[in-house]
Amino acid sequence: MLWRTFLFIVFSSFLTAAAMLYLKWEDLKGETVNSLASTNQLIRTSTSAVLELQGTVLSVIGHRLLELNGLQDNPEARTIISEALEKNPKLAGFGLADIDGNLVLTSDNLDRQSLPNLLEKPETAKSFREALRTNNMVLGRTYFLPAAGMWLMPARFRLTDKFGNTTAVMTTGFTLNAQNSLFNIQSVPDSMHLVIARQEDNNYYRQYISGVSETDYNQLYNSPIEQVVVDRFNDALVKENGLSLEDIKQQQGIYFGTSSNFRNEDALFAIQYDPKYKIFIVVIQKQASLIPELKNSLLWLIILLLVFNTVLFTIFKQIEKIQQRSKEDLKFQANHDALTQLPNRNYLNKINLSLNKTGIKKFSLGFLDLDNFKSANDFHGHRIGDLLLI
């Protein structure tokens, strides 16, 4: 019974440790979710500020170019557009396009011979058409522009005359270089990844993704996000928030979930939608990045378990010795006279049974008769009588 109690306590201690480890894991996930939310909001705020500024820059430069007959490739207009690029290192170049998608004026860093028609190139056509009918700056799909020799995320702003008619589209491109990125990538911890995505028709495309090699750009930016990845994110949103990707486009806020990233690694994510620029801002952190901190807690729990159960074993071992000693004392008291410590009748009965089992039928027993012991006991007292017997 004693050791059953010990085993029960040991088992309970392991269950408690497992529960504490689980609570620690949930606590780590909670802290990570809060950090993801803060980072996501910081990215949203800084990105919106930069985009607002660049929208103003495109508007001011564009109208100035039109004043200088930029659509006729005026040299003075070309000088202004090139100087504007020097003051905006986040940008890959500037261009002024007519409403038919032809880039008629560009900054000097672009090879005009390899410039595409923005209405004919699949990566640019949809966003260019959208820019022709909206007053906001429009972000397009990220693509490789041979004329600039780099990957960029295009932004377009329509220019109108005094009657509100579209006369041209001012266009630029944000570089994907981490140091000059549009997004405040320095605020993203090393354990997190930033993904900016946009929807075109039924597909989702990556606008920007941090922490990847340029050798992966073609695969990541030229192709839609794999449908299985989209479905995982959508299912996670529905499970955790009761809202789908389409739903959060109508809702303002940051939403959370657990899904798999493009490398098929389990990850926590925080996502929100920017309706003005029609982009999803997603900050992701692999769950595996939480393991080192969980290991520290596990190490301490193992040490505590070892110490606790070692001390507990020592205590129970001592209790067992005390119980064994008590049993032996009780057994001795039951089989011996309390005064003389000599075997009593109960002991003799047990001896008799033992002898019978071994086939011994006879044994000798000596008696000592004290004459007038009762008188001596009565006259001198029980203490003297006891001493006499001993």
168 pLDDT band, cuts 50/70/90, is very high
Token look-up 């989209």 returns: 230
Residue 151: count of CB within 10 angstroms of its CB: 21
Cα–Cα dist 282/260, whole Å: 13
Show the tokens assigned to 343.
Answer: 């075997």
Average pLDDT of the chain to the nearest whole number: 84
pLDDT in the model for residue 378: 65
Contact 103, 118 (CB under 8 A): yes
Ramachandran region of residue 247, left (φ > 0), alpha (ψ -120 to 50) or beta?
alpha
Residue 281: beta bridge partners?
196, 272
10 pLDDT band, cuts 50/70/90, is confident
35 or 340, higher pLDDT: 35
Cα–Cα dist 53/210, whole Å: 23
pLDDT by residue (tens digit) across 171-188?
998 888 756 566 656 667
23 or 336, higher pLDDT: 23
Token look-up 């993704």 returns: 209
pLDDT in the model for residue 291: 84
pLDDT in the model for residue 196: 92
pLDDT in the model for residue 354: 67
Q: Tell me the average pLDDT across 274-285.
A: 92
Domain ranges for the chain: 2-291, 337-390
Cα–Cα dist 249/259, whole Å: 19
| pLDDT(131) > 90 | yes
- Nearest CA to 39 out of 346, 336, 283 is that of 283
Cα–Cα dist 216/10, whole Å: 52
pLDDT in the model for residue 367: 65
4 or 142, higher pLDDT: 142
Q: Tell me the average pLDDT across 233-261.
A: 89
Name the CA radius of gyration of the chain, rounded: 44
Cβ neighbors of 50 (< 8 A, separation 6 or more) are 90, 182
CATH superfamily of 2-291: PAS domain (3.30.450.20)
pLDDT by residue (tens digit) across 39-73?
999 989 988 988 998 899 899 988 888 888 878 87
363 pLDDT band, cuts 50/70/90, is low
Show the tokens assigned to 214.
Answer: 């340029």
pLDDT in the model for residue 322: 83
